Amino acid sequence: MAHRDDVAALRALVKGAGLRVTASRVAVLGLLRAAAQPLSHGEVADRLTDAVADRATIYRNLVDLVEAGLAHRSDLGDHVWRFEAVAAGHGADHHPHFICTSCGAVECLPEVELALPRSRTPRALRRNQVEIQVRGRCDTCP
């Protein structure tokens, strides 16, 4: 679990987003903020290993964090929702992901800026309501 000061900061974030502060919600947010890549519900539940809550509660917490703007939910093309915290370095906007077509590994990529003419840009793109995915083989796959 996170350091005591980190837990206080996580509790403040949850409360500031208008959510009830619970141990499981704080643990889920802490795990998402510490993760280097987006995590599926199963991965979150496995990493919390019954220490905090059951799988259904963890899923509800993930959905609540998304609705409160503390996390993003993405489908990277395999019909599995993955969750990641909205945090410093990732900002409120979505960022691109690299998905290995061989092993399925997912990595966050640095934010990119698309230079498109404003007149022909779809509204969803102007509102940052799109996901950019880059697919290929990762460096560890043969």
What are the chain's domains? 4-136 (1.10.10.10)
pLDDT at 56: 92
pLDDT at 125: 60
pTM over 0.75: no
pLDDT at 53: 81
3-state secondary structure of 126: helix
The pair of three-digit structure tokens given for residue 1, joined into one six-digit string: 């679990």
Cα–Cα distances in angstroms (integers) from residue 45 to residues 24, 53, 109, in the given order: 11, 8, 25
Read off φ and ψ for residue 18, nearest 5 degrees.
85, 15
pLDDT at 1: 47
Residues 83/67, Cβ–Cβ less than 8 Å: no
pLDDT at 72: 85
Strands (E), 46-137: 71-75, 81-85, 97-100, 106-108, 133-136
3-state secondary structure of 100: strand
Q: Which residues of the chain have pLDDT under 70?
A: 1-5, 50-51, 87-95, 111-131
- Paired sense of beta strands 97-100 and 133-136, if any: parallel
pLDDT at 121: 66
The pair of three-digit structure tokens given for residue 4, joined into one six-digit string: 């005591």
